[in-house]
Amino acid sequence: MSIRAHLPKVADAVVVGGGIIGCSTAYYLALAGLDVVVCEKGWVGCEQSSRNWGLIRKQGRHPAEIPLTIHSLELWHELATKVDRDIGFRVNGTLYLSDTEKRYDANRKWLEHAQAFDLDTAMLGMEELRTVAPGIRNQARDALFTPSDASADPHLAMQALAELVMQEGGQILEQCAVRGVDIEAGRVAGVITEHGRIRAPAVVCAGGAWSGYFCRPLGIQLPQLKVISSVMLSQPTDHVLGPALWSQGMGLRRRPDGSYIVAPAGNADCPITPDFLRFARSYLPTYRDSKETVKLQFTRRFLTELSWPVAPSHRHRSPFECERVLDPKPNHSLIERVRRRLGDTFPDLADIQVSRIWAGMIDVMPDELPVIDECHSLPGLVISTGYSGHGFGIGPGAGQVTADLVLGQGNSSSLISGLRLGRLG
């Protein structure tokens, strides 16, 4: 999609980042009548938001996020009817196999959260499992199932969302990196982009994996890291699996055209970066749980990020322009492993043909929860980032509550009480 516009001199709000969080925020701000501008250094959805698996799930979410995920799913239903085309939105459920002791216990524990929030989640015995997942080989003791969970096509959804922003009067500027926040008298006065200044009393940082670096010169420390997640898309097949499925080391989702998104769920590569060294301590508890599946990598990324200036100059080309799109290399051995696992789980899919393989850089926080908050040390700045691998599903809800913060409306504060900046110490 090519979205071109002239740089406006003033706006009511500028959103930094044209991913699902930035575009959803802009949509709800534009709906509220604000003159909103999204600045995106690459193009809409070019990083995580168009590379994800497309799951919109409540299942497995941290209790602090469940109210927002419930709300977000309602908004997905609304958005799917608002747009004039199919964005692949389907309510098909999420299924977690209890195929290891750890997952068996985790599934039981999560069922308690589901009951507390009155969700439609249930444990399925083997017979019921074979009905919802025909052709599955008996490997699991049982499975956790939330039928009301959904999915959508990330590419189509992002395009449609960007069009909704523009229909409501918002502007989206692609190839427009924001180098920094303009501050006057101790509060936000706008942004400095690579093409010039935009004056605005409110700025939203929705920069995904770049948010930590973006916020640092403002004196805000976000202990954010990045992990690389690899994905495979198959050719269409006749095999029909309704719900999205998670098992030990595999995530699977059937798309409306019959192709499958197949991914090494939970397995990721973590590049060692200067931030990794800076924040390692905060990640120790999470790392202890995932050290079998998250592999540390020493790559050129360390030197690249080491060469970044502490604060990007407002006058010169910044790292945001030098790397318009984070485009990590996929891990082919993980993909090969997950293909074998797919064949073990669904023998009918053992010879599935690969259509495409890609990877995305996921931004994570130590507690795997996002930060959605106003910044009290810099009035006018709102931060909405750190979605830790599940920001697509929660995106519309997160965008709406972020917009509420900009608008100074407290009506969604109960949805984000566990997601404030202050919890990070």
Ligand X SMILES: Cc1cc2nc3c(=O)[nH]c(=O)nc-3n(C[C@H](O)[C@H](O)[C@H](O)COP(=O)(O)OP(=O)(O)OC[C@H]3O[C@@H](n4cnc5c(N)ncnc54)[C@H](O)[C@@H]3O)c2cc1C
- Determine contact, residues 13/151, Cβ cutoff 8 Å: no
d(CA 138, CA 129): 9
Residue 5 CB, shortest distance to ligand X, in Å, is 14
d(CA 158, CA 344): 34
Residue closer to ligand X, measured from CB, 142 or 190: 190
Phi, psi (degrees; rounded to nearest 5) at 53: -80, -15
Closest CB to ligand X: residue number: 19
> Which one-letter DSSP state was computed for residue 10?
B
> Which residues 293-322 are close enough to bind ligand X by CB under 6 A?
320
Residue closer to ligand X, measured from CB, 114 or 232: 232
Between the CA of residue 239 and those of 128, 134, 352, what are the distances in Å? 18, 9, 10
Rule CB under 6 A: say whether 48 interacts with ligand X: yes
> Which residues 217-256 are close enough to bind ligand X by CB under 6 A?
229, 231
Q: Which stretch binds ligand X (CB under 6 A): 132-140, 216-224, 390-398, 413-421?
A: 390-398
Helix (H, G, I), strand (E, B) or coil at 236: coil
How many amino acids of this chain bind ligand X (CB under 6 A)?
40
Rule CB under 6 A: say whether 165 interacts with ligand X: no
Rule CB under 6 A: say whether 153 interacts with ligand X: no
Residue closer to ligand X, measured from CB, 15 or 142: 15
Residue 126 CB, shortest distance to ligand X, in Å, is 26
* 88 token code pair: 């692949």
Query: How much of the chain is helix, strand and coil, in % rounded to 5?
Result: 35, 25, 40
Residue 66 CB, shortest distance to ligand X, in Å, is 14
First-residue to last-residue Cα distance in the chain: 40
Q: Which of 393, 403, 405, 416 binds ligand X (CB under 6 A)?
A: 393
Q: Which of 28, 51, 373, 419 binds ligand X (CB under 6 A)?
A: 51
Q: Which of 391, 397, 406, 412 binds ligand X (CB under 6 A)?
A: 391
Residue 148 CB, shortest distance to ligand X, in Å, is 15
Residue closer to ligand X, measured from CB, 222 or 362: 362
> Which residues 7-46 are close enough to bind ligand X by CB under 6 A?
16-22, 39-42, 46
Residue 106 CB, shortest distance to ligand X, in Å, is 18
DSSP H helices, 32-125, are: 66-82, 101-116
Residues 6 or more apart in contact with residue 81 via CB below 8 angstroms = none
Instruction: State whether the Cα torsion 341-347-348-351 is positive or negative.
Output: positive
What is the DSSP pairing of strand 150-151 with strand 244-247? unpaired
Instruction: State whether the Cα torsion 221-224-225-228 is positive or negative.
Output: negative
Instruction: State whether the Cα torsion 214-220-226-231 is positive or negative.
Output: negative
Q: Strand pairing partners for 254?
A: 260
| Element spanning 131, H or E | helix 126-132
Closest of 62, 56, 123, 119 to residue 92, by C-alpha: 56
Rule CB under 6 A: say whether 260 interacts with ligand X: no
Question: What is the contact mask toward ligand X in residues 66 to 85, using x (rule: CB under 6 A)?
Answer: --------------------
Rule CB under 6 A: say whether 387 interacts with ligand X: yes
> Which residues 189-218 are close enough to bind ligand X by CB under 6 A?
206-210, 214
Rule CB under 6 A: say whether 52 interacts with ligand X: yes
> Which residues 367-386 are close enough to bind ligand X by CB under 6 A?
385
Q: Which stretch binds ligand X (CB under 6 A): 48-56, 106-114, 280-288, 342-350?
A: 48-56
Residue closer to ligand X, measured from CB, 214 or 283: 214
Residue 296 CB, shortest distance to ligand X, in Å, is 18
- Determine contact, residues 394/387, Cβ cutoff 8 Å: yes
Rule CB under 6 A: say whether 397 interacts with ligand X: no
Instruction: State whether the Cα torsion 366-367-372-376 is positive or negative.
Output: negative
Residue 360 CB, shortest distance to ligand X, in Å, is 2
**Residue ranges that bind ligand X, judged by CB under 6 A:** 16-22, 39-42, 46-49, 51-55, 177-178, 206-210, 214, 229, 231, 320, 360, 362, 385, 387, 389-393
